[in-house]
Structure 1
């Protein structure tokens, strides 16, 4: 078992990831700054892709099959403020669901590495 696979297991596997993603989107969809980015978006598909993405980042037995980050966010005009807010909500959802601080840092570092593919596309 690799370190990243153990991270997925350590945080509670698919059930825990689904709880985190649910809490995360509750926060995101309630935020007036972020709400316009999700107009007309299939929320079920978005939820499913986010579960895959977080699972893959944590080394779970799931492959992310969504579009690459740059392509998925093309034309959305996502600002640094919006990106930072999303990262904050992900952090809060991870914390609320009992994920350890060092594991949160590992996940957020992976997400932060995608900023240039998401912001301003």
Structure 2
């Protein structure tokens, strides 16, 4: 990198927005139903989800973010924006919570720390 590189260029080059994390969605019997993949969330993704939600309600925004970010293994979108209402109505709250917490990376650092200590 040249010595006169702009700070923005250094930052953008330092992070890979194509790196995906895998989430195995399991049923009550522990069987994998589907693998979902998530790229890092950008501020633009968050703003778009908030716009699609049409609300400042955190639960609506997070479900829209899930619909926007979840991908199948081949990179196609797992959900359409219109799926948000059905996800909220017809999935147990615990399932949506688990998915959305993974999407936002909540608890991952604790899990990594625990894994390193074992």
TM-score, normalisation: structure 1: 0.29
Which protein is bigger by CA-based radius of gyration? 2
| Larger helix proportion of the pair | 1
Q: Which has the higher strand share?
A: 2
**Structure with the greater relative contact order (CA < 8 A, sep ≥ 6): 1 or 2?**
1
TM-score by length of 2: 0.30
